[in-house]
Amino acid sequence: MASESQRTNTFRKKSENTKKTTATSASGGEGFSLPKFQFKQLGLTLGIVLLSASIFLFIAFLSYLLNGPSDQSLVMNNPDQAVRDAARASQNWVGYLGAQASHWLIYRWFGIAAFLIPPYLFLLGIRLMFKVSLVSLTRYAVFALFFTAWLGLLTGYIVILVQGYSYWSFLSGGLGYELAKLSSDFLGMGTFILIAGTFLIFVVLFFGLEQLNWFSFKGNPEEIDEEFSPKEKEKPANPFLDEVEDDLEDFEDDGSSWEIKGSEPEPVAKAKEPATPKTQPTFDFPDDVVDEEEDLFDVPQVNLLDEGIKPAKAQPVSEGNFSVQKPTVEEKTAEEVENLDPYDPTLDLPRYQYPTLDLLNEYDVKKVTVSRQELEENKDKIVTTLENFQIGIQGIQATIGPTVTLYEIVPNPGVKISKIKNLEDDIALSLAALGIRIIAPIPGKGTIGIEVPNKNRELVPARAVIGTEKFMKSDKDLPIALGKTISNEVFVADLAKMPHLLMAGATGQGKSVGLNMILASLIYKK
pLDDT at 479 (0 to 100)? 92
Where along the chain do its domains lie?
39-207, 372-453, 462-524
pLDDT at 69 (0 to 100)? 63
Q: Give yes or no for residue 6 having a pLDDT over 50.
A: no
Q: Give yes or no for residue 166 having a pLDDT over 50.
A: yes
Contact (Cβ atoms closer than 8 angstroms) between residue 121 and residue 50? yes
Q: How many CB atoms lie within 10 A of CB 477?
A: 10
Contact (Cβ atoms closer than 8 angstroms) between residue 53 and residue 121? yes
pLDDT class for 15, splitting at 50, 70, 90? very low
326 versus 424: the higher-pLDDT residue is: 424
**Over residues 145-154, mean pLDDT:** 88
DSSP state, 28? T
CA 266 to CA 268: how far, in whole Å?
6
467 versus 273: the higher-pLDDT residue is: 467
Which of 412, 418, 405 lies closest to 387, judged by CA?
412
Give burial (CB, 10 Å; 0-12/13-18/19+) of 154: buried
Each residue of 172-222: pLDDT tens digit? 788 888 888 888 888 888 888 998 999 998 888 888 887 766 554 444 545
**Over residues 412-421, mean pLDDT:** 85
pLDDT class for 502, splitting at 50, 70, 90? confident
pLDDT class for 20, splitting at 50, 70, 90? very low
Q: Give yes or no for residue 475 having a pLDDT over 60.
A: yes
- Global pTM reads 0.34
Kindly give the interhelix angle for 39-77 and 95-102, rounded to the nearest 10 degrees.
Answer: 80
CA 61 to CA 116: how far, in whole Å?
11
Each residue of 240-264: pLDDT tens digit? 455 545 555 454 444 444 444 444 5
pLDDT class for 519, splitting at 50, 70, 90? very high
**What are the beta bridge partners of residue 297?**
none
Q: What class has domain 372-453?
A: alpha beta
133 versus 301: the higher-pLDDT residue is: 133
pLDDT at 291 (0 to 100)? 46
**Over residues 309-319, mean pLDDT:** 50
**Over residues 491-508, mean pLDDT:** 85
CA 375 to CA 140: how far, in whole Å?
77
Using alpha carbons, list the distances in angstroms from residue 261 to 139, 244, 264, 511, 512.
27, 12, 9, 78, 76
Give burial (CB, 10 Å; 0-12/13-18/19+) of 125: buried
pLDDT at 494 (0 to 100)? 92
Estimate the share of the chain in helix, then strand, then coil, as percent rounded to the nearest 5.
50, 10, 40
Average pLDDT, the chain: 72
**Over residues 156-167, mean pLDDT:** 72
Each residue of 31-40: pLDDT tens digit? 444 455 566 7
Each residue of 87-126: pLDDT tens digit? 556 777 887 788 888 888 888 788 888 888 999 899 998 8
Q: Give yes or no for residue 147 having a pLDDT over 60.
A: yes
Q: What percent of the chain has pLDDT over 70?
A: 62
pLDDT class for 152, splitting at 50, 70, 90? confident
Using alpha carbons, list the distances in angstroms from residue 94 to 55, 59, 102, 173.
10, 7, 11, 21
pLDDT class for 159, splitting at 50, 70, 90? confident
**What are the beta bridge partners of residue 44?**
none
* Most confident stretch, 3-7, 268-272, 500-504: 500-504
Each residue of 438-463: pLDDT tens digit? 888 888 788 888 888 888 778 888 88
Give burial (CB, 10 Å; 0-12/13-18/19+) of 411: buried
How far is C-alpha 28 from the geometric centre of its chain's CA atoms? 75
